[in-house]
């Protein structure tokens, strides 16, 4: 993202993690990225959040994890004091030998998902927010154990929402089914072209109706919804990183008319393509 800056975090090689406490957050830090993982907790604020290609709205409380080098920022539209607690930690916090143990697999998988950004529900926030705030006053080995407890609690929550489309992190293998991976890879490589359900059904050796049922069961999305998400993901990146016209972006991403593109984009992003581009071109400020 052209407006983003690379943040130099206070982490050193001797730190497992750092906790940044902002009891009166001003949201005055520009959109940025850094090579560390980050957990960001916001309280008593409402506004707009950017994570990668995702633009979302949050209200009252917010809890998000972002992976390395994903640009992000929060903007508050409410007055008064807001509380923000940010936890940053290195990519090698847990050695591979730890991550492959059964107890740590949920954490490992969450870290993988965070490469597309993860939003946690208010139910999860209610469970972990007191523990996150307790880290402000903790120190020593006790603080590290509490941090691991927080990671574990977040990793086993069943209501995690992935913020960026799969195309934002194409190396991330989200689906264990070989046939679903084949179908998704085909969509990701051919999104700019016309794709028929029969094309994918033939690819994995199913009838069209069986494929639709199978795809929806394994991905929790219809074929059309997944295809639109992929196309909107690519369109979002082009709107942010290029000066192509809305019409050019539309046809480059596989849509067959601008009005349909605008309608689907607004449904997915809650903004029109023009509004989305304008918003991202501004210097969105963060705490």
pLDDT tens per residue across span 16-40: 899 999 988 888 777 788 889 999 9
Q: Burial of 51 by CB count in 10 Å (0-12 exposed, 13-18 middle, 19+ buried)?
A: buried
Give the up-direction half-sphere exposure of residue 95: CA atoms within 13 A in the CB hemisphere. Answer: 2
In the block, tokens 């999104």 appear at 191
Higher local confidence (pLDDT), 40 or 271: 40
In what helix (H) or strand (E) does residue 156 lie, and over which residues does it extend? Answer: none
CA distance 279 to 33: 18
* pTM of the shown model: 0.67
The residues spanned by each domain of the chain are 5-162, 169-286
pLDDT (0 to 100) of residue 241? 73
What residue ranges in 120-254 does DSSP mark as E strands?
A: 161-162
Nearest to 69 by CA among 128, 9, 119, 126: 9
Q: Burial of 46 by CB count in 10 Å (0-12 exposed, 13-18 middle, 19+ buried)?
A: middle
CA distance 1 to 52: 8
Q: Which CATH number fits domain 5-162: 1.20.1260.10, 2.30.30.40, 3.30.420.10, 2.60.120.280?
A: 2.60.120.280
SS3 content of the chain, % helix, strand, coil (to 5): 45, 20, 35
Report yes or no: 166 and 116 within 8 Å, Cβ to Cβ: yes
What confidence tier does 1 reach under pLDDT thresholds 50, 70, 90?
very low
Mean pLDDT of the chain: 86
Note the CATH architecture for domain 169-286.
Answer: Orthogonal Bundle (1.10)
Average pLDDT of the residues in 127-149? 92
Q: Do domains 5-162 and 169-286 have the same CATH topology?
A: no
- Which region among 46-60, 171-185, 250-264 has the lowest average model confidence (pLDDT)? 171-185
pLDDT in tens, 77-118: 887 789 999 999 988 887 777 777 888 899 999 999 999 999
pLDDT (0 to 100) of residue 208? 93
């Amino acid at each position: 993202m052209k407006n983003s800056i690379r943040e130099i975090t206070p982490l050193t090689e001797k730190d497992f993690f750092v906790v940044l406490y902002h009891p009166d957050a001003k949201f005055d830090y520009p959109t940025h990225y850094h090579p560390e993982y980050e957990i960001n907790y916001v309280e008593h604020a409402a506004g707009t959040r950017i994570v990668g290609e995702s633009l979302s709205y949050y209200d009252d409380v917010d809890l998000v994890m972002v992976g390395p080098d994903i640009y992000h920022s929060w903007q508050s539209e409410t007055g008064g004091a807001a509380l923000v607690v940010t936890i940053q930690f290195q990519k090698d916090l847990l050695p591979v030998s730890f991550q492959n143990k059964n107890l740590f697999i949920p954490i490992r998988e969450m870290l993988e998902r965070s490469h597309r950004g993860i939003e946690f529900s208010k139910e999860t926030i209610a469970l972990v927010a007191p523990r996150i705030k307790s880290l402000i006053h903790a120190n020593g080995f006790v603080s590290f154990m509490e941090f691991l407890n927080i990671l574990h609690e977040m990793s086993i929550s069943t209501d995690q929402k992935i913020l960026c489309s799969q195309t934002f992190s194409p190396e991330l293998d989200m689906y264990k089914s070989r046939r679903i991976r084949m179908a998704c890879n085909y969509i990701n490589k051919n999104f700019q072209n016309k794709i028929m359900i029969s094309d994918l059904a033939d690819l994995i050796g199913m009838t069209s109706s069986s494929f639709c049922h199978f795809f929806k069961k394994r991905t929790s999305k219809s074929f059309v919804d997944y295809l639109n998400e992929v196309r909107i993901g690519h369109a979002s990146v082009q709107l942010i990183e290029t000066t192509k016209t809305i019409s050019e972006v539309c046809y480059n991403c596989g849509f067959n008319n601008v009005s349909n593109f605008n309608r689907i984009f607004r449904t997915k992003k809650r903004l029109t393509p023009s509004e989305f581009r304008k918003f991202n071109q501004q210097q969105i400020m963060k705490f």
